[in-house]
Structure 1
Amino acid sequence: MQLPSTNILTILDTKIYPGESKEVNFDVANLHTSSPVNVPIIIERAKKPGPIVLFTAGIHGDEVNGVEIVRKIIAQGINKPKCGTIICIPVINVFGFITLKREFPDGRDLNRVFPGTVDGSLASRVAHKLIHEIMPYVDYVMDFHTGGAGRFNAPQIRISKESRALNELAKVFGAPFVLYSSHLKKSFRDTCFKLGKHMLLFEGGKSHHIDETVTNAGVNGAKRVLSHLGMLNVKIKVPKQKKEIVFINDSRWQRASHSGMFRADIAIGSLVKKGDIIGSITDPYGKLNFDVKAPNSGYIINVNESPIVYQGDALFHISTKLKR
């Protein structure tokens, strides 16, 4: 959607003029105690026109590390653009964030109900409002997630391989890994794709946890992309990319062949060879010990950090095919 000739941005019935800063409440429903639940949307506009970038996190209420990344973007003034507009929604699923649960109180995963409906479930209504009240104005989205269920993700960007624009932005972002993956049906990313919006989906760390390395990867990537778009404030230094990016065409999960106490013996992000011992599963009595060996050569992009696993549980996510 193009802004009107007066260049006034109207979000949730609030007018934001060039050069203005506004905080708008994205409210959908009260708590069961009748207490209001306000989801703050922080909007910063430069006087000079330019792209509109949206930073989001907390689609899953237990993914705290993503929330911390957007919080830092705001706290460090990275969201004050040289040109254009930056919109930040640090916690979309505030209902889940209150209880540190992935889903909404209705048990639904917000990232499986997009684009939502105006009269559907609570999660569906939030999705509908986001898509219809905010997304029409947005050019670029950076959505921050973490691994779930105790599984730690190496900092990575997930995009579809076909998009040249997203491949370029992923290179600029500079996460250690770029994983080509298909869109999940009814996800935020899938809906943005259908709307013609450029989205970088960041994964890093695990739920209920804040990791400084992952946080820095997300914040630094945001700086690089804003600099690439000509939007980064001149007072903020653009961090250099330290390592070469690994592009992953395909990957597989290494699953537990036994139940027991699990220990990973390999660092996240490591390159392993087929047959390398990368972990072990033992019983609590010191009688049994099973080596976990790499089924193929590749990079470890996710590690299960749970001390107890059952047969069939995912242990490691390993790349199987790299982009050449």
Structure 2
Amino acid sequence: MTASKPLVILKETILAGESKTINMEIAKLHTMNKLKIPIIVERSKLDGPTVLFTACLHGDEINGTEIVRQLIVQKINKPKRGTIICIPIINIFGFINKTREFPDGRDLNRVFPGSKNGSLASRFAYYILKDIIPHVDYAIDFHAGGASRFNAPQIRIVPENPELKKLSDVFNAPFTLYSKNISGSFRNSCDKLGVKMLLFEGGKSLDLNLQITEEAIAGTKRFLQHLDMLNPRKKASVPKSKSIYIEKSNWVRAKYSGMFHGLTTIGKFVKKGELLATISDPYGKVEHKMKAPHDGYVINVNDAPIVYQGDAIFHISTQLELES
């Protein structure tokens, strides 16, 4: 193979075989302090694809940041060939404040492709697509469940896309969900620009979970091995079982407000009528039972100690993809 061409990101040149951290600056804090978003680039001397690993699009989803941090610490981001770009924190404002949104109140994952002269979140979206994504062939965006909702480790891909299906097979998370692209999302914009993206979900906001991190690292190593990019000093594990593909699922919502006592575990297959949880009043007078409305895998559990009527409590599969 021949040496890679120079890569230019935000007017900085990274040569083949070079490592560089580029600091992206778009806006300052209201205190006039500078805010820098580190973009960590590792290049092999050998030609190959460019892979992007991103996290913390939502500022409170810090388990994704831990996953990308571990890719760097373990030197998994040093490719055998090609280029690996890591952005552990995209929404630096939200990360500082431990909030999901940008200071302008907007969800960054709903404003893509953004605007050069738009809101703060919109400007970030614009520059990410303008300066980074044109260099990228493949990407994995790491997320966690919102609020107190804990996601089983899963990959989300659009249906009827054989190439993404192959990549999700290789990653082999415990679950894979078919999920259409949402207008304004990072994944939707990347798809339109030809980037093949897997979206990883696991854990919950403002929480670090070792099992989730290990599942993500193992899948990422298999992903890189498939692209012949895995650092030769690293080994990808062989999965014990195949990913369970979920075509349809629905939320089970609380019928009552009260103190929530979950009685099932994430990832478990439950049968119709099985007891999932109880919701009680604080005074020891009332206790309501929540039962599974149908058979299925529990792919999200609400860990909140107190719930209100209508809150999403369990996310359960309703239709699985039959093995071919």
Which range is displaced more, 61-70 or 235-244? Answer: 235-244
- What's the counterpart of residue 160 of structure 2? 162
Structure 2 residue 242 is matched with structure 1 residue 237: no
- Give the CA deviation at 1:237: 1.3
The 5 Å alignment of 1:173-188 reads 173-188=171-186
In the aligned structure 1, how far is the partner of 2:266 from the partner of 2:57? 24
In the aligned structure 2, how far is the partner of 1:251 from the partner of 1:225? 26
- Pick the aligned partner of 1:61 from 38, 59, 62: 59
- What's the counterpart of residue 91 of structure 2? 93
Retained in 1: the 8 A contact 2:4–2:46? no
- Give the CA deviation at 1:244: 2.3
The 5 Å alignment of 1:178-257 reads 178-257=176-255
In the aligned structure 2, how far is the partner of 1:242 from the partner of 1:207? 28
Q: Secondary structure at the match of 1:69?
A: helix
- Unaligned residue ranges in structure 2 (runs of 5+): none
In the aligned structure 2, how far is the partner of 1:242 from the partner of 1:32? 50
Q: Secondary structure at the match of 1:131?
A: helix
Residue type of the partner of 1:72? Q
In the aligned structure 2, how far is the partner of 1:243 from the partner of 1:317? 22
Q: Secondary structure at the match of 1:87?
A: strand
In the aligned structure 1, how far is the partner of 2:121 from the partner of 2:81? 33
- Pick the aligned partner of 2:24 from 9, 23, 26: 26
- Pick the aligned partner of 1:120 from 118, 121, 131: 118
- Give the CA deviation at 1:146: 0.1
Deviation per CA, 1:230-270, whole angstroms, max 9, x where unpaired?
00011001112122210000000000011111111011000
Retained in 1: the 8 A contact 2:4–2:47? no
- Pick the aligned partner of 1:303 from 301, 304, 310: 301
In the aligned structure 2, how far is the partner of 1:251 from the partner of 1:157? 14
In the aligned structure 1, how far is the partner of 2:232 from the partner of 2:103? 43
Q: Secondary structure at the match of 1:82?
A: coil
- Give the CA deviation at 1:123: 0.4
- What's the counterpart of residue 134 of structure 2? 136
Residue type of the partner of 2:161? S
- Give the CA deviation at 1:178: 0.2
Q: How many residues align?
A: 320
Structure 1 segments of 4 or more deviating over 4 A?
none
In the aligned structure 1, how far is the partner of 2:219 from the partner of 2:203? 15
In the aligned structure 1, how far is the partner of 2:311 from the partner of 2:193? 36
Residue type of the partner of 1:127? A
In the aligned structure 2, how far is the partner of 1:27 from the partner of 1:280? 48
TM-score, reference length from structure 2: 0.98
Deviation per CA, 1:179-235, whole angstroms, max 9, x where unpaired?
001111110011111111100000000000000000111111111100000000110
- Give the CA deviation at 1:127: 0.4
Residue type of the partner of 1:48? L
- Unaligned residue ranges in structure 1 (runs of 5+): none
Q: Secondary structure at the match of 2:198?
A: strand
In the aligned structure 2, how far is the partner of 1:222 from the partner of 1:154? 16
The 5 Å alignment of 1:306-321 reads 306-321=304-319
Q: Secondary structure at the match of 1:53?
A: strand
TM-score, reference length from structure 1: 0.98
| Distance 1:284-1:132 versus aligned 2 partners, 3 A rule | same
Residue type of the partner of 1:75? V
In the aligned structure 1, how far is the partner of 2:309 from the partner of 2:91? 32
In the aligned structure 1, how far is the partner of 2:62 from the partner of 2:104? 20
- What's the counterpart of residue 278 of structure 1? 276
